[in-house]
Amino acid sequence: MTNIPRKSIMDPACGDRLFRIAAAGSAFLVLALLAGLLLQLGVGSAPAWREFGFGFLVGTGWDPVANVYGALPAIAGTLLTTAIALILAIPPAFVTALWLVDAPPGIGEIMSQALDLLAAIPSVIYGMWGLFVLVPLMQDHIQPFLSETLGLGKIPFFGEYGNGFGFLTASLILALMILPYMSAVMRNVFRMTPSILRESAFGVGCTRWETAKDIVMRYGIRGLLGGIFIGLGRALGETMAVLFVIGNVMELPENLYASGTTIASTLANNFAEANGIMRSVLFALGLILLLLSLGVQVLAQYYLAMTGASRGEK
């Protein structure tokens, strides 16, 4: 150590600079990872795009033996399950957030914690519960009730008979999974509304619901949108819960009771035995999912940043 000149790593100023470079490097790793994701999935999927062109996006065939692949069933399944899950989950997420913000402290706290726990359960557990508990229940009770007792089966695309698997079951589970996330973001948004606005509304005689609908919602609409997009992003990419109950057939959605597939479950289901062009096809599906999620997340972050609300994930 004696021979090393003073200007070395031991020098505080130099060490400071090194530390700063290491810290900056680690932070910029996020950007590198994002870029790497795009690059690798792009490179991996290149053979598929060369082989099938953009017709891949609208192709409906899927026959590994004949080397025919189309992404439309998976894309349509993803969009369908996500859409139903959102329709099912947005209203309860909104009203629960509304109630929790003004809830009596004790109960409100317990309920918030319970919702957070719902978000903490691993998705594979949701899948297993779905497969062994929800699927038989759907088949024996819920699907007959919906289509026969309520007569919804007459509506085109709804479906009359189901075996319990399929889009509706997957959407139900997705709805339960994304509800706590959306509710948490929405709670944050509600809390950020200046209390003077709410108190003024109460002062002029608004009911709680009118205050929520006309004041809080208008004030925090961007944050609410951000919360919805957070839920949307999770539903798009959820793999295991969907994989267990969607039925996994590469077909376009026939009706809500039909079995089908989503991009994420196709990836998980086919990757083990994939090689050659099929592997590239799966990379192409992954790229589509990545771009969809990227778009959704950028919108979510943009809206949330505008209101200064946090993601509500902690």
Partner 1 sequence: MTAIAPEKRRGLFRRKLIDRVVGILSILALLIAVAGMIWIIWVVLARGASVISWTFLTEPSKPYGTLNGGIANALLGTVEITLGAVLIGVPPALLGGIYLAEFGKGTKSGNAIRFSANVMMGMPSVVIGLFIYAIMVIPMGGPSGFAGSVALAVLIFPVVLRTTEDMLLMVPDALRESALALGCSRARTAVRIICRSARSGLVTGIMLAVARVSGETAPLLLTVMWSDAWPKNYFSQPTANLPVLVTEYATNSPFEEQHAAGWGAALVVTLLVLLLNISTRIIFKEKNHAR
221-240: contacts with partner 1 (CB under 8 A): 230, 233-234, 236-240
Ramachandran sector of residue 197 (left: φ over 0; alpha: ψ -120 to 50; beta: rest): alpha
Residue of 1, 5, 12, 273 interacting with partner 1 (CB under 8 A) = 12
Site for partner 1 in 159-178 (CB under 8 A): 176
Residue 305 touches partner 1, criterion: CB under 8 A: yes
Closer to partner 1 by Cβ: residue 179 or 256: 179
Q: Among positive and negative, which fits the CA dihedral 8, 10, 13, 18?
A: positive
DSSP annotation of 7 reads S
Cα pseudo-dihedral 231, 237, 241, 243, rounded to 10: 150
How far is Cα 8 from Cα 23, in angstroms, rounded to an integer?
19
Q: Which residue has the tokens 């899950």?
A: 85
Can residue 15 be called a binding residue for partner 1 (CB under 8 A)? yes
Evaluate whether 233 touches 313 at the Cβ level (below 8 Å).
no
Among 70, 159, 180, 312, binds partner 1 (CB under 8 A): 180
85 lies in the binding site for partner 1 (CB under 8 A): no
Q: Does 27 bind partner 1 (CB under 8 A)?
A: yes
Candidate list 74, 80, 85, 131; residue touching partner 1; CB under 8 A = 131
22 part of the interface to partner 1, by CB under 8 A: yes
Which region among 89-97, 147-155, 163-171, 185-193 touches partner 1 (by CB under 8 A)?
Answer: 89-97
**Smallest distance from partner 1 to CB 244, Å:** 6
d(CA 138, CA 141): 6
| The one-letter amino acid at 95 | V
Count of alpha carbons within 13 Å of 250, Cβ hemisphere only? 16
R_g of the chain computed on alpha carbons = 24
Structure tokens at 313: 């994930």
> Using CB under 8 A, which of 84, 86, 100, 174 touches partner 1?
100
- Region 246-285 residues binding partner 1, contact defined as CB under 8 A: 264, 267-268, 271-272, 282-283
Contact between 259 and 166 (Cβ < 8 Å): yes
The answer to whether residue 293 forms part of the interface with partner 1 (CB under 8 A) is yes
| Structure tokens belonging to residue 143 | 């699907």
Question: Binding to partner 1 (CB under 8 A): which residues in 28-67?
Answer: 28-31, 33-34, 36-37, 40-41, 43-44
Shorter beta-carbon distance to partner 1: residue 76 or 287: 287
| CA–CA dist 100, 89 (Å, integer) | 16
Please, what is the minimum distance in Å from the beta carbon of residue 64 to partner 1? 18
Q: Does 9 bind partner 1 (CB under 8 A)?
A: no
Beta carbon nearer to partner 1, 31 or 66: 31
Asked if residue 89 lies in contact with residue 228, where contact means CB atoms within 8 angstroms, the answer is no
Does 121 help bind partner 1 (rule: CB under 8 A)? yes
> Cα 53 to the chain's mean position, in Å?
28
312 binds partner 1 (CB under 8 A): no
Residue 128 sits in the site that holds partner 1 (CB under 8 A): yes
Residue type, 280: S
199 binds partner 1 per the rule CB under 8 A = no
Select 159 or 182, whichever has its Cβ closest to partner 1: 182
Q: Is 296 in the site for partner 1 (CB under 8 A)?
A: yes
Nearer to partner 1, 159 or 260 (CB): 260
Contact 300, 274 (CB under 8 A): no
